[in-house]
Amino acid sequence: MTKLERDLLNMVQNEFPLEPRPFAAIAVKLGISQKRCIAALGRLKKSGILRDIRPVVEWRSLGFKTVLVGMSVAPHKSDAVARILNRIEGVTHNYLRDGSLNLWFTLIYDAPAEKNRLFARLRKIDGVHALYEFKAEKVYKIGLVLDV
């Protein structure tokens, strides 16, 4: 990884500018063109080093609720069920784990009735054996920033 790539990764983690042309501002700080900045970030994304650049929103402060969900899914159906989850608005991410609850996801929702309708729909999907919700009692956020 080049020094520029390390500097870019550190900057987008620590001091991403909140302005109309953030990549131009980053480029100025690094002494490069905006075009070079965007191209380098594109290469980092294509290589799998950079997953995404996006805000982290505190949904509860906006009146939304969040829940962690564990599902028991037939192993041969897990990819198909994950693809369904990926298309549901409010599902932030999902992942496969070992154990009886093998497919997990987090959901952001507005109203309990909305969540209950979604859960009823998910329980009917071929291969889904059970679905359990785990409400947070206390939120611990990790402010993970890696010095690259």
Q: Does one domain contain both 33 and 84?
A: no
Residue 29 lies in a domain: yes
Q: Does one domain contain both 63 and 41?
A: no
- 33: Cα within 13 Å, side-chain hemisphere: 3
Q: What was the pLDDT predicted at 139?
A: 76
Q: Does one domain contain both 16 and 70?
A: no
Number of domains the chain contains: 2
Q: Does one domain contain both 122 and 91?
A: yes
Say which amino acid occupies 44.
L
Say which amino acid occupies 99.
G
Which domain, by its residues, includes 71?
59-134
Q: What was the pLDDT predicted at 99?
A: 94
Q: What was the pLDDT predicted at 125?
A: 95
Q: Does one domain contain both 40 and 68?
A: no
Burial class (CB in 10 A: 0-12, 13-18, 19+), 140: exposed
CATH, residue 127:
3.30.70.920
Q: What was the pLDDT predicted at 142?
A: 67
Residue 139 lies in a domain: no
Asked if the model's pLDDT at residue 146 lies above 80, the reply is: no
Separation CA 7–CA 76 (nearest Å)? 42
Residue 87 lies in a domain: yes
Put simply, whether the predicted model's pTM sits higher than 0.85 gets the answer no
Asked if the model's pLDDT at residue 134 lies above 80, the reply is: yes
Asked if the model's pLDDT at residue 144 lies above 70, the reply is: no
**pLDDT tens per residue, range 65-124:** 999 999 999 999 999 999 999 999 999 889 999 999 999 999 999 999 999 999 999 999
